[in-house]
Amino acid sequence: MHRKLFYPFLKGDNMATPAAEEIKNSKVEPLTRRKAWKALETHAGKMRETHLRTLFAGDPKRGERMTVEAAGLFLDYSKNRVTDETLRLLLQLAEESGLKQRIEAMFRGDKINVTEKRAVLHVALRAPRSASILVDGENVVPQVHEVLDKMAVFANRIRSGAWTGHSGKPIKNIVNIGIGGSDLGPVMAYEALRHFSNRDLTFRFVSNVDGTDFAEAVHDLAADETLFIVSSKTFTTLETMTNAHTAREWLLGKIGGHQSSVAKHFVAVSTNAAEVAKFGIDTANMFGFWDWVGGRYSMDSAIGLSTMIAIGPENFRKMLVGFHEMDEHFRTAPFEKNLPVLLGLLTVWYANFFDAQTVAILPYEQYLKRFPAYLQQLTMESNGKHVTLEGNPVDYTTCPIYWGEPGTNGQHSFYQLIHQGTRLISCDFLAFYRTVNKLGRHQDMLIANVFAQTEALAFGKTPEQVKAEGTPDWLVPHRVFEGNRPSNTILADELTPAMLGKLVALYEHSVFTQGTIWQVNSFDQWGVELGKALAQRIIPELENKTEPDLKHDSSTNNLIRRYRKFKE
Ligand code: F6P
């Protein structure tokens, strides 16, 4: 049952808001009233009783058939609890949800971020120079390339030693200060592409307002060889601005320099030139982006400046080419062969029809160690929503919880729960045929573990098999693996800059697919506001010398009083 309108201002004549216009034109039925949804509900009843052992036994070619290869990525989705009928219905759900039209609207630059009245054009960040994408009648592609070119000049100056600090020494250390999308992408990309990075440079990333983060990041750095990149779309974020001010004090304290040396040791990445100038950074050293780039979709914008300095402009461009290749695949491939669409639909399948609470991201590639953390913001800040685009409360589950660790570490910690726990956790295994670090038998062992895990999860071990191994009866139940635990296996050549771009775009568009089905706005994040506002109120209550007049609930008041009492 779809509940009534939540926000009365969207009713009747007030339908002139952009959100309402968008929705009026979309002609999409509420999710639970769509034909495919209802059919999936019935179908899921049967599928919940069906074991992957049966599905594989009934179709010897299943493991070859249920695969898709595109843009250099191979997806084996055969170890999912799906049949051809499931896929037909999920694809029908995508059609009925207007996915095709939504994709076109995004690529066209429509203001699909209706609550912030913005276009959503991270795809423009990797469009080739010759492309044309209009926002409010203006082609944004030349602006994108202008910034990329400016970044390249700057990155080369740092890499070559031509850019010098206050004492005339070249820069050796790059510290990116940012949080959320202004941190997670840069950290993840730096770690992922470390092999391609300039090893003469040291990279650090400061995000947390916890002073330890800054203190530890700089404790062994020479200030006169350090460049801070203050990365913040808004240039008002509490954590980033606090760390940026601390960095300025640290720098000036160390080099005993005048404020003017700030210009040699600080650059900014932001959409807010006024605040950048106020901070004292020369806006000539500011790298801009635009309100149509969401923070969590910005690692390939100027927010990737640290990445570009690390891997060089040429590799950065290769990464953009990878992104673009996946964009084109998403935009043009039929849904049944479309990697992001399939991944997105499978996530919807488990979240909504199997009550799955989480998705595990399991990269068997050490360089991708921060990829699960990166995906947490991308997925959960995008689709962790409780109302539809119109503001109606949803009557179905939206975004699952994403988490994960690189293999094989997780196998020796939480995989126990995936194999024998009581929850259904769908897993994405990511692996590469080749590694840049060829050490003995490591790679074969690593990949053997990927295949072993997906096999064990899907097929498990029956009581009969356990008994046949001579296990005493009392121990048998403990050693049984039910199996029927779903997974995707994604294989690719090697983790290169282009491949990283493809992988990130794959998940960006999977998130888009899911958000479209759930009819939520995947591009706002109002849910982060309340805590931020309350923190602003509480900060002076912790710092005031005189006892504050507290007006919170009794728990919060008590915690504040206790902290004040013990903090010195
Ligand atoms: O608080 C959430 C958020 O707005 C994210 O969406 C964003 O990536 C992060 O904060 C950082 O914002 P900014 O780049 O403006 O500092």
Give, in order, the Cα–Cα distances in Å from 309 to each of 153, 286, 305: 10, 15, 6
Q: Which of 69, 278, 532, 543 is catalytic?
A: 532
Tell me the two tokens of residue 520: 């939520």
Q: Which two tokens stand for residue 552?
A: 């919170």
Distance 305 CA to ligand 1 centre (A): 17
528 lines ligand 1 (CB under 6 A): yes
The reply to whether ligand 1 has any atom less than 6 angstroms from the CB of 347 is no
Residue nearest (by alpha carbon) to ligand 1 atom 1: 528
Whether 18 shows a pLDDT value over 70: the answer reads: no
> 298 CB under 6 A from ligand 1?
no
Asked if residues 284 and 152 have their Cβ atoms less than 8 Å apart, the reply is no
How many other C-beta atoms are found inside a 10 Å radius of the C-beta of residue 3?
A: 10
Please tell me the predicted confidence (pLDDT) of residue 288: 97
Tell me how far apart the alpha carbons of residues 85 and 187 are, in angstroms, rounded to a whole number: 41
Q: 191-237, pLDDT tens digit by residue?
A: 999 999 999 999 999 999 999 999 999 999 999 999 999 999 999 99
Predicted pLDDT of residue 28: 87
Spot the catalytic one: 412, 478, 545, 567: 412
Using the structure block, give the residue that is written with the tokens 């991944």: 343
Query: How far apart are the CA of 190 and the centre of ligand 1, in A?
Result: 19
Q: 385: CA distance to ligand 1 center in Å? A: 17
Ligand 1 nearest atom to the CA of residue 295, by list position: 8
**Token reading at 298:** 């910005």
> How sure is the predictor about 14, in pLDDT bands with cuts at 50, 70 and 90?
very low
Task: Clarify whether 532 is annotated catalytic.
Answer: yes
pTM greater than 0.85? yes
Query: Which H/E stretch holds residue 471?
Result: none
Ligand 1 center to 294 CA (angstroms): 9
237 preceded by a cis bond (ω within 30 of 0)? no
Q: Is there a catalytic annotation at residue 381?
A: yes
Which residue has the CA at smallest separation from atom 6 of ligand 1? 295
Distance (angstroms) between ligand 1 centre and the Cα of 180 equals 5
Q: Is the CB of 535 under 6 A from ligand 1?
A: no
Per-residue confidence band for 257, with pLDDT thresholds at 50, 70 and 90: confident
Q: What pLDDT, on a 0 to 100 scale, did the predictor assign at position 258? A: 78
Ligand 1 geometric centre to CA of 138 (Å): 26
Q: What is the pLDDT of residues 323-367, one digit of tens each?
A: 999 999 999 999 999 999 999 999 999 999 999 999 999 999 999
Which is the catalytic residue, given 365, 381, 405, 541? 381
Strands 173-177 and 226-231 turn out to be parallel
Pocket test for ligand 1, best of 234, 297, 376, 383 (most atoms within 8 A of CB): 234
- What's the 233 CA to ligand 1 centre distance in angstroms? 7
pLDDT at 153: 98
525 lines ligand 1 (CB under 6 A): yes
Q: What is the pLDDT of residues 50-66, one digit of tens each?
A: 999 999 999 999 999 99
Which ligand 1 atom is at minimum distance from the Cα of 298?
8
Q: Please answer whether residues 98 and 22 qualify as being in contact, where contact means their C-beta atoms are separated by less than 8 angstroms.
A: no
Does ligand 1 have an atom closer than 6 angstroms to the CB of 296?
Answer: yes
The pLDDT of residue 15 is 39
Other C-beta atoms closer than 10 Å to the C-beta of 260 total 10
* CA–CA dist 457, 484 (Å, integer): 6
Per-residue pLDDT, averaged over 525-547, amounts to: 98
Does residue 382 have its Cβ closer than 6 Å to ligand 1? no
- Which atom of ligand 1 sits closest to the CA of residue 179? 11
Residue nearest to atom 3 of ligand 1 (CA): 180
Residue 232 Cβ < 6 Å to ligand 1: yes
- Residue 238 Cβ < 6 Å to ligand 1: no
**Cα 120 to Cα 98: distance, rounded to the nearest angstrom:** 17
Q: Give the bridge partners for 397, in sequence order.
A: none
Q: What percent of the chain has pLDDT over 90?
A: 93
pLDDT at 247: 98
- Quick one: three-class SS letters along 15-79? HHCHHHHHHHHHCCCCHHHCHHHHHHHHHHHHHCCCCHHHHHHCCCCHHHHCEEEECCEEEECCC
Q: Which residues contact 254 (CB under 8 A, 6 or more apart)?
A: 223, 224
Range 533-560 average pLDDT: 98
- pLDDT band, residue 22 (cuts 50/70/90): low
* pLDDT of 260: 82
Catalytic (active site) residue 412: yes
Q: What is the pLDDT of residue 256?
A: 86
Residue nearest to atom 5 of ligand 1 (CA): 180
pLDDT in tens, 118-163: 999 999 999 999 999 999 999 999 999 999 999 999 999 999 999 9
Q: What is the pLDDT of residue 27?
A: 72
Any ligand 1 atom below 6 A from CB of 240: yes
Indicate if ligand 1 lies below 6 Å from the C-beta of 182. Answer: yes
pLDDT at 7 over 50: no
Burial code (b: 16+ CB inside 10 Å, e: under 16) for 400-423 equals bebbbbbbbebbeebbeebbeeee
Q: Pick from 457, 455, 456, 460: which is nearest to 481 by CA? A: 460
568 pLDDT tier (thresholds 50, 70, 90): confident
Query: What are the residues facing 67 on neighbouring strands?
Result: 76
Q: Mean of the per-residue pLDDT values for the chain? A: 95
